[in-house]
Amino acid sequence: MDEFYPQADVIRVVLDNLKTHKPAALSVTFTPAEALRILKKLEFHYTPKHGSWLNMVEIEWSVYSRSLPKYIPNDDMLVTDVLALTDERNSRHATIDWQFCTDDARIKLKQLYTSILK
């Protein structure tokens, strides 16, 4: 935070909605005073548990982690392998079959849609 964004008034942090991502986690690494100083600059935004773009990113990472060799000896080979896999997936027009639709979201996340449903 201090190194890359020293002039920022607020840093917005987008996280998936897991219980592991809590502001209190800062106190594990930093002193209480430092954790509080950092926390005052952070603004957390949690994505929905279901149906978020972050879920799609995680699915795509999973494809890459399962498709790439388990051991890649250097950065050049990593770049080569990732680009080859990306080209192959793009040439096949690979997509994510996302099945969580708006109607399902309104049922599952009804507490977030109260103004729409009234």
CB 11 within 8 A of CB 1: yes
Burial class (CB in 10 A: 0-12, 13-18, 19+), 68: middle
Average pLDDT for 49-63: 77
Residues 57-89: tens digit of each pLDDT: 888 889 999 999 889 999 999 999 999 999 999
Judge whether residue 118 has pLDDT over 60.
Answer: no
Average pLDDT for 18-35: 83
Write phi, then psi, for 72 (nearest 5 degrees).
Answer: -125, 115
CB 10 within 8 A of CB 43: yes
Mean predicted lDDT score pLDDT of the chain: 83
Instruction: Give the integer Cα–Cα distance in Å for 55 and 72.
Output: 26
pTM for the full model? 0.45
Judge whether residue 114 has pLDDT over 60.
Answer: no
Q: What one-character DSSP code corresponds to residue 93?
A: T
> What is the pLDDT at residue 59?
84
Judge whether residue 20 has pLDDT over 70.
Answer: no
